[in-house]
C-alpha cells in the first residue's frame, strides 16, 4: 500500500502530514463569546506546552441536527463575528463547517480552513465552491462511504486547482444509533491525502437520546490511541468547559479540564505512528 508523499498546507504556518502533530479543536458550536474565548485560550496554552499545532474549531451553524427543535446556533452573522474576534484575540487560525455553496465566500473571509461535513462529502457544488475559495479544505468521510471512495471527493477539490485538501475519519454507521471505526480506513485514505481522526464524532451515538445524539466518551481514548499508532496525521477533538451543559454534542466532547492529559497521551501514540508514515514533501 502506498502512502501519500506530500504535506498539505492548512495555513501559512501549519502543514499537515509532516513532523508536527496538528489539532483541530474547540466547542462543537459557537454558543457564546465567553465560552469560545475560554476554550480557545486554554487550548492555546496546552498546545504551546505540548508543542502541537492548533487550529480553533467551532461551528457557526449546526445544520445536521437530529431534531428540528435542537439548537442550531446563535445566527450566522453573530457566530462569525465571534469566531473572527476569538481568532484575532488568540492569534489562532480558525476552521468551521460550510453546508451550502452560497455560504463559502462569506465564511472564507473569516476562517483559514473550510470543513465539509460528513453527510455532504459527495456534494460536488459545495466541494468546488470550497476549492475555489483558496482556503484549505478538510473533508469528513461520510458515515456511508467506503474509505477508498473518498479519493474522488479529494480529487474534486484538487482538480479544481486547490491542492490543500485532507480527509477526516469519523466512523461508519450501520444504524441503531451507533458508529464503528475501522482502523483500516486510516491507511487506505492516507494513500490520497494526509488524514485526521475525529475523536469526538467517532464515539457519537446519532439520535441515541431520543431526538438528540448521545455519545460514549469513555471509549474516546482507546480509539484515539489506536488512530495515532496507525499513523494518523492529526486529531479533531471537540471540548467544552462543561459538556453536560453544552448545547450540542455534549456526551461525546472531552471536558476542557481533561484536555492536557488527554492530548499528552495522544501525542505519545502519534509519535509512535510517525515511524510508519514517510513523506517526501
Give me the pLDDT at residue 280, please.
40
**% the chain with pLDDT above 90:** 82
Please report the pLDDT score of residue 63 as a whole number.
Answer: 78
Cα angle 237-239-240, degrees, rounded to a multiple of 5: 170
- Between the alpha carbon of residue 192 and those of residues 8, 74, 90, 166, 172, the distances in Å are 11, 36, 33, 8, 19
Q: How far apart are CA 49 and CA 240, in angstroms?
A: 19
In whole angstroms, how far apart are CA 231 and each of 141, 185, 267, 270, 272? 17, 11, 11, 7, 8
pLDDT value at residue 215: 72
CA 126 to chain centre: 17
Chain centroid to CA 71: 20
Nearest CA among 92, 68, 274, 82 for reference residue 190? 274
Q: Which residues contact 237 (CB under 8 A, 6 or more apart)?
A: 23, 24, 25, 199, 200, 224, 254, 259, 262, 263
Instruction: Write down the mean pLDDT value for the chain.
Output: 93
Which pTM does this prediction carry? 0.94
Whole-number pLDDT of residue 213: 66
User: Looking at 5-19, 82-96, 168-182, which range is the least confident one?
Assistant: 168-182
Judge contact between 114 and 108, C-beta under 8 A: yes
Read off the DSSP letter of residue 142: P
State the average pLDDT over residues 240-253: 91
Q: Is the dihedral of CA 114, 117, 262, 87 positive or negative?
A: positive
In tens, the pLDDT along 61-109 reads 987 766 777 788 899 999 999 999 999 999 999 999 999 999 999 999 9
Average confidence (pLDDT) over 130-156: 98
Amino acid at each position: 500500500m502506498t502512502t501519500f508523499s506530500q504535506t498539505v498546507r492548512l495555513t501559512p504556518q501549519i502543514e499537515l502530514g509532516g513532523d508536527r502533530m496538528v489539532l483541530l479543536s474547540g466547542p462543537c458550536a459557537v454558543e457564546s463569546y465567553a465560552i469560545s474565548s475560554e476554550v480557545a485560550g486554554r487550548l492555546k496554552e496546552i498546545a504551546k506546552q505540548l508543542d502541537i499545532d492548533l487550529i480553533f474549531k467551532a461551528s457557526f451553524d449546526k445544520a445536521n441536527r437530529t431534531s428540528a427543535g435542537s439548537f442550531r446556533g446563535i445566527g450566522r452573522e453573530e457566530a462569525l463575528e465571534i469566531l473572527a474576534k476569538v481568532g484575532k484575540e488568540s492569534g489562532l487560525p480558525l476552521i468551521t463547517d460550510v453546508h451550502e455553496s452560497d455560504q463559502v465566500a462569506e465564511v472564507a473571509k473569516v476562517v483559514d480552513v473550510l470543513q465539509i461535513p460528513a453527510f455532504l462529502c459527495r456534494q460536488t457544488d459545495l466541494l468546488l465552491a470550497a476549492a475555489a475559495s483558496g482556503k484549505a479544505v478538510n473533508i469528513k468521510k461520510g458515515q456511508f462511504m467506503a474509505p477508498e471512495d473518498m479519493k474522488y471527493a479529494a480529487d474534486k477539490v484538487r482538480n479544481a486547482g486547490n491542492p490543500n485538501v485532507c480527509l477526516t475519519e469519523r466512523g461508519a454507521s450501520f444504524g441503531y444509533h451507533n458508529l464503528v471505526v475501522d482502523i483500516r480506513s486510516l491507511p487506505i485514505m492516507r494513500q490520497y491525502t494526509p488524514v485526521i481522526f475525529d475523536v469526538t464524532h467517532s464515539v457519537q451515538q446519532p439520535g441515541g437520546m431520543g431526538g438528540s445524539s448521545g455519545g460514549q466518551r469513555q471509549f474516546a481514548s482507546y480509539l484515539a490511541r489506536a488512530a495515532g499508532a496507525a499513523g494518523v496525521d492529526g486529531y479533531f477533538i471537540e471540548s467544552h468547559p462543561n459538556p453536560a451543559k453544552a448545547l450540542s454534542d455534549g456526551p461525546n466532547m472531552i471536558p476542557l479540564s481533561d484536555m492536557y492529559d488527554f492530548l499528552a497521551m495522544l501525542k505519545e501514540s502519534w509519535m509512535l505512528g510517525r515511524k510508519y508514515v514517510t513523506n517526501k514533501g
